[in-house]
């Protein structure tokens, strides 16, 4: 039987370079002879993903709890396929996961423990790489985009919420201009 692949999650605020670093990591892993694939949440291509996309683009409105549960459902529906890939030896590099779910919804004011519940039982990451960047630096990188959460005040709160979620599986990667301590903007 193939050796199980690793579940590597990459988290961070907007503009922290997650997507670029995820692509680099997948390419590096492949070049060194590993099976590796990129996974991104939210997956905007599925039915739940289309509702999420419309919400993020501010084309539709949803209750904060309802959208939180949709983000979670968007992960749950992918678990079987991802589990099979890991079991067949493919390493998965995941651009955002349940930590983003909790950080964004709790930054909006929902109870942190309530936010954690729907994701309990998802595949557990082997490592979480947190790309840390101050919000000032993030803004210098060309500013935030037009989507619902791409606003300075919310991003500051999200970074503080991420700091509450760190545990032993996290490795914080200091990006240019960030301090060593989370929670400083
Ligand atoms: P991208 O810009 O990376 O496509 O993310 N989000 C993401 C949540 O609020 N909850 C979640 O569970 C996830 C995975 C973060 C789109 C936005 O969606 C937010 C930014
Ligand atoms: Mg975005």
Query: Structure pTM?
Result: 0.94
Q: What is the pLDDT of residue 175?
A: 78
Tell me the ligand closest to 149's alpha carbon.
1
Compute the mean pLDDT over every residue in the chain, rounded to the nearest whole number.
93
99 lines ligand 1 (CB under 6 A): no
Q: What is the pLDDT of residue 144?
A: 85
> In this structure, are residues 42 and 95 in contact, taking their beta carbons and an 8 Å threshold?
no
Whether residue 18 has pLDDT greater than 90: yes
Q: Is 120 helix (H, G, I), strand (E, B) or coil?
A: coil
Instruction: Give the CA distances from residue 28 to residues 22, 37, 59, 126, in Å, rounded to whole numbers and listed in that order.
Output: 10, 11, 38, 18
Full set of structural domains in the chain with CATH: 7-171 (3.40.50.300)
Hey, whose CA ends up nearest to atom 20 of ligand 1? 149
Task: Give residue 128's Cα distance to chain centre.
Answer: 10
- pLDDT tens-digit readout, 116-126: 999 999 999 99
Whether residue 179 has pLDDT greater than 70: no
100 lines ligand 1 (CB under 6 A): yes
Distance 97 CA to ligand 1 centre (A): 8
10 lines ligand 1 (CB under 6 A): no
Whether residue 142 has pLDDT greater than 90: no
Nearest residue to 72 (alpha-carbon basis) of 106, 49, 39: 49
Q: Above 0.90 for ipTM, yes or no?
A: yes
């Amino acid at each position: 039987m193939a050796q199980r692949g690793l579940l590597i999650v990459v988290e961070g605020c907007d503009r922290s370079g997650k997507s670029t670093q995820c692509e680099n990591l997948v390419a590096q892993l492949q070049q060194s002879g590993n099976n590796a694939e990129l996974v991104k949440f939210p997956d905007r291509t599925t039915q739940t993903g289309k509702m999420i996309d419309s919400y993020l683009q501010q084309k539709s409105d949803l209750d904060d709890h309802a959208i939180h549960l949709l983000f979670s459902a968007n992960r749950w529906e992918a678990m079987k396929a991802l589990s099979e890939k890991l079991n067949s030896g493919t390493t998965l590099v995941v651009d955002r996961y349940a930590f983003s779910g909790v950080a964004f919804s709790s930054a909006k004011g929902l109870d942190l423990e309530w936010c954690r519940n729907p994701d309990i039982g998802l595949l557990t990451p082997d490592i979480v790489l947190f790309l840390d960047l101050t919000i000032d630096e993030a803004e210098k990188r060309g500013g935030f985009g037009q989507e619902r959460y791409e606003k300075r005040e919310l991003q500051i709160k999200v970074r503080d919420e991420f700091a509450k979620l760190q545990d032993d599986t996290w490795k914080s990667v200091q990006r240019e201009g960030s301090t060593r301590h989370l929670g400083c903007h």
